[in-house]
Amino acid sequence: MIIILKDNPEEKQLENLIAWLKSMDLDIHFSQGENTTILGLIGDTSAVDIDLINALDIVDTVKRVQEPYKNVNRKFHPQDTIVDVAGVKIGGGNFQIIAGPCSVESRDQVCQIAKDVKAAGANLYRGGAFKPRTSPYAFQGMRSEGINLLLEAKKESGLPIVTEVMDLSHLPLFEDVDVIQVGARNMQNFELLKELGHLNKPILLKRGLSSTLQELLMSAEYIMAGGNENVILCERGIRTFETATRNTLDLAAVPLLKTMTHLPIVVDPSHATGIAHLVKPMAMAAAAAGADGLMIEVHNDPPHALCDGAQSLTPEAFTDVVKAVNAILPHAYKG
């Protein structure tokens, strides 16, 4: 961390600052220019509060040199992490497609789509039991019953399941779930992240609507700091001024995250665009850019889906996407 002081810092305040920094076991490299005094902090600065130092009268600016994350940092863990989901590997060259309906609606629906997406080439099955909905009057998901139906679909299809948790009090219901998904709105639900850190189960962490990549990594750091190393990141679009698509898919995040972290990164083109006919080209683009997987909404009857129908594919359309993605994969960016 580099602290640039204002011109002619008050002597006493400077002493206080230095004493305080030393109390945090930091060495200080002092460098005095004509007008500018610079303090270089040497040691582990990940716990130093940059805003606090910025608030001091004598400080002009503060700049981190080290990243504020450790466990997720590729610098300290150069190999790709490979997350093993009931034998299905993601990351480190293993590309997987997670597919399924936005929300679980019935036993027939959930089992039928599981078979359909498996036949089309999906390796993981997703479905929403708990649904975060903007309106209190919209369908809120089948909740615990939905999880049971997903587990039945797993038994029938053999596909491991991915489903979203909305509150930490529901975690006991997720015992047999293979991957717990943290939705965009919960990316900074820190109490939930801490709990997930104590599980020994893969977590799929979606980027928040207005979260920076660094914030996404800090949230993954919360989970890893608790001891759970099985984190899969998911880019699913950010909120911008453009309203032609539901969100703006930030695909450059994929290769950039790969330089920052060793964790696998999947892309959700369905939520990112909100438009069914954009799922295919964006899935292909994500594969080309080096993503470790995709998360795609598939519904046997999109117009009657109880939520997010606008972005769902039929099993036929999904089959076509899988083929197109598989043709791209051998030529994809490897980093």
Q: Pick the closer one to its own copies by CB: 88 or 180.
A: 180
Q: Which of 14, 199, 209, 317 binds its own copies (CB under 8 A)?
A: 209
User: Which residues 6+ apart lie within 8 Å of 227 measured at CB?
Assistant: 197, 198
Q: Pick the closer one to its own copies by CB: 122 or 254.
A: 254
Q: Which two tokens stand for residue 94?
A: 């293993």
Q: Does 319 bind its own copies (CB under 8 A)?
A: no
From the CB of 115, what's the least distance to its own copies, in Å? Answer: 23
CB environment 54-84: b (16+ within 10 A), e (fewer): eebebbeebeeeebbbebbbbeebeebbebe
Q: Which amino acid is at 258?
A: K
From the CB of 119, what's the least distance to its own copies, in Å? Answer: 22
Q: Does 314 bind its own copies (CB under 8 A)?
A: no
Q: Does 274 bind its own copies (CB under 8 A)?
A: yes
> With CB under 8 A as the contact rule, which of the stretches 111-119, 144-152, 173-181, 208-216 interacts with its own copies?
208-216
Would you tell me how many other CB atoms lie within 10 Å of the CB of residue 115?
A: 16
Q: Pick the closer one to its own copies by CB: 69 or 125.
A: 69
List the Cα angle 320/122/193 in 5-degree steps. 125
Q: Does 252 bind its own copies (CB under 8 A)?
A: yes
DSSP state of 55: T
Is 231 in contact with 223 (CB distance < 8 Å)? yes
CB environment 13-38: b (16+ within 10 A), e (fewer): ebeebeeebeeeebeeeeeeeeeebe
Q: Does 225 bind its own copies (CB under 8 A)?
A: yes
Owner of token pair 């945090």: 24
**Interaction with its own copies in 75-114: which residues (CB under 8 A)?**
none
Q: Does 135 bind its own copies (CB under 8 A)?
A: yes
Q: Which two tokens stand for residue 193?
A: 């992240």
Q: Does 317 bind its own copies (CB under 8 A)?
A: no
Q: Which of 263, 273, 315, 319 binds its own copies (CB under 8 A)?
A: 273
Q: Does 254 bind its own copies (CB under 8 A)?
A: yes
Is 288 in contact with 280 (CB distance < 8 Å)? no
CB environment 265-295: b (16+ within 10 A), e (fewer): bbbbbbbbbbebebbbebbbbbbbbbbbbbb
Q: Does 8 bind its own copies (CB under 8 A)?
A: no
Q: Pick the closer one to its own copies by CB: 85 or 289.
A: 289
Q: Which of 91, 127, 264, 302 binds its own copies (CB under 8 A)?
A: 302
Q: Which of 18, 82, 288, 317 binds its own copies (CB under 8 A)?
A: 288
From the CB of 87, what's the least distance to its own copies, in Å? Answer: 29
Q: Which of 129, 180, 192, 234 binds its own copies (CB under 8 A)?
A: 192
**Interaction with its own copies in 14-33: which residues (CB under 8 A)?**
27, 29, 31, 33
Report how many residues bind its own copies under the rule CB under 8 A: 112
From the CB of 136, what's the least distance to its own copies, in Å? Answer: 4
From the CB of 148, what's the least distance to its own copies, in Å? Answer: 19
Q: Which of 109, 189, 228, 270 binds its own copies (CB under 8 A)?
A: 189
Would you tell me how many other CB atoms lie within 10 Å of the CB of residue 2?
A: 14
From the CB of 45, what's the least distance to its own copies, in Å? Answer: 10
Dihedral angle at the C-alpha atoms of 219, 224, 225, 226, nearest 10 degrees? 110
**Interaction with its own copies in 161-180: which residues (CB under 8 A)?**
166-170
Give the residue among 204, 193, 182, 256 at the shortest CA–CA distance from 88. Answer: 204
Q: How far apart are CA 261 and CA 70, in angstroms?
A: 10
